[in-house]
Structure 1
Amino acid sequence: MSSENTVYIVDDDAAVRDALGLLLSLNGYRTAFFADAEAFLQAWTPAMRGCMLLDIRMPGMDGLTLQKTLREMGSRLPVLVITGHGDVDSAREAFRSQAVDFLEKPLQEKQLVAAIEEAFQRQASDARASPAHAAWARRYASLTPREAEVMGLVVAGRHNREIARDLGISVRTVEVHKTRMMEKLEAASVADLVRQHLLYGE
């Protein structure tokens, strides 16, 4: 277990957060607590290391939406989904967004520790790529929503005129957005942009 790793617990139930904090501290883990998805999003940085324990049902943004949002932002933080209301559809959605495990409350200590260690190992196996992923995430986060739309269409193989038609804007406006997007992502060419997107964007 790396001393750099933290278990980020996102759960609206204070009693659950306290119980998990005690259990994990007794097992030697460093922890950080968040009462809702919005609080975690405000604190998230690409440099975070460890894993998330993420409750599904929370006021505001639910856990599965947070999981998807983080992936779209370029997060490589492994996620363990926890729930008191497990169902097949939720599990399928969580794993589709690459959750490491789907754990039902009440959590079993041995199962939880094994899942956390698996999450840490998954992150360690990706360690060499992490700096590049983090750099991509920072660059991608700098795009405006329109620039991100243009990027998605460019990597899908659309030409400027097609993008203009799809977005209802002029070809000249597409060219401006495309130029700014390429500069922000430090892509030397469309081929380089596609390569970066396939490697890091997922």
Structure 2
Amino acid sequence: MEPLLVAHRDPHIDLSVSAVEPFTLDPAKAGFFVPGNRASSEENPMGDVIKSKHTRLYIAIGGTKVIRVTRLRSVGFPDGQASEIDISDFDDDWDQFVAGRKATGSTTIEVIYDTVDSEELEALHTTGKTVNFLVTAPKSETEGADLPEAVDGVITPPTDVLSKQYDGFVQNFAPTVADNDVWKATMTIRGSGAVKTNRPAP
């Protein structure tokens, strides 16, 4: 039988609550985003995360006319998977490939169906017209990006926030109604070309 070990408290060590120094966490130094505080991004080389709150979606439905999609619940971007080209020959032990042309995919946008604002979205589905989409990051915790302008059907992105931009047409517009809920609608957007990232001016 092994001997029983008994722990004895050192009388010279003060374990009272008053002897413990308080600790305060500085969010900026910890790498968290603090609105209006540039120190967080300067000390964190990974940059700040972007919250979805006050993200906005704009669509150029004419040469100079831009609408904001209201009651937005989710928004996506078309993917761009690259095709592959086989360059293998008789001397290769393994198949050899290089990247080919990128295939623009589709994405979905969900909104709460509105008796007025959804009418223009349904019209885009009816016409099948390829239009320009712009998704903007929020300006702050309380404000979204302002309504931009368009030239020849292409939206001019804001210079104060990050945004993503692409062309596409509304392939499907499907309203849904669930029990004890509001009407919603899912738009399927077929992308055309690349998704462009617009970064704010330094």
* TM-score after normalising by structure 1: 0.21
> Greater helix percent: which structure?
1
* TM-score after normalising by structure 2: 0.21
> Greater strand percent: which structure?
2
**In terms of Rg, which structure is larger?**
2
Higher RCO (CA 8 Å, separation ≥ 6 residues) = 2
